[in-house]
Structure 1
Amino acid sequence: MGLGSTAKKIQTLSDRAEAMYKQVQKLQQRITGLEEKTDETNETVARLDHQLTEQRALLLAIAEEQGLNGEEILAEAAIDDVDADESSPAEAAVGETTSE
């Protein structure tokens, strides 16, 4: 009777170990997939950054050709963006709650 009980415990332990092994394999596959997606995303970001740099240079050249100061236009646009961000309703609401 003692051997039957031991065999049952060993079988239960073996079943649990097999289930855990399968979970670990699934996790390894998911991690590998995430690593591949991350690499793809990094490549896409690098490509887009390069394209953006090229487009900026092209726009600045066109602006100069038209007699405009492209850097000044970009600086003004950046200031406008900062002003718009500072006066957004969400920012105002946060400021009101923190000052009370």
Structure 2
Amino acid sequence: MGFGSTAKKLQKVTDMADKLYERFERLREQVNDLTGTVEETNDRVAALEGEVAEQRALLEALASRQGVDVESVLEDVESDAAATDADSQPADAKPRTGDADAQTDGANSQSGGVNSQSGSAASQTDDAGT
């Protein structure tokens, strides 16, 4: 009887080792997949950063051509963002349902400020042409 219980225990340990090995292999595959995803994401982020830099350069060139002071627009946006941050709730407070709308409105007003300045520059150009 001693050999029978030992064989059962040994079989149980072998089964556990097989299950552990299978789990380890699945985890290895998941890590490899995740590594590939991270590398792809890094490539995409680098490409997007390059595109954003190109777009910023184009916008700044267009703005300067239209007579818009890019630095003052950026300062206005930063001061609006600082004011929004100062008015925001503490980090440990629960978010209210209207907070997302307030942030969206703040972003819209910021872009509205840029548009209104662009509109002013465009109207100046129209006035000069008339």
Moved over 2 A (4+): 91-94
Matching of residue 3 in structure 1 with residue 21 in structure 2: no
Q: Could you tell me the TM-score, scaled by structure 1's length? A: 0.83
Length, aligned pairs only: 93
- Relative to structure 1, the CA distance from residue 93 to residue 15 in structure 2 (aligned partners, 3 Å threshold; closer, same or farther) is closer
CA–CA separation in structure 1 for the residues paired with 2:21 and 2:91: 53
SS in 1 for 2:67: coil
- Cα 1:93–1:14, aligned 2, differ >3 Å: closer, same or farther? closer
Structure number with the bigger relative contact order (C-alpha 8 A, sep ≥ 6) is 2
Unaligned runs of 5+ in 2: 94-130
Shift of 1:93: 8.5
Q: Distance in 1 between matches of 2:11 and 2:60?
A: 73
Q: Which protein is richer in helix relative to its size? A: 1
Q: Deviations over 1:33-92 (max 9, x none)?
A: 11111111111111111111111111000000001111221122111111112112x249
TM-score (norm 2): 0.66
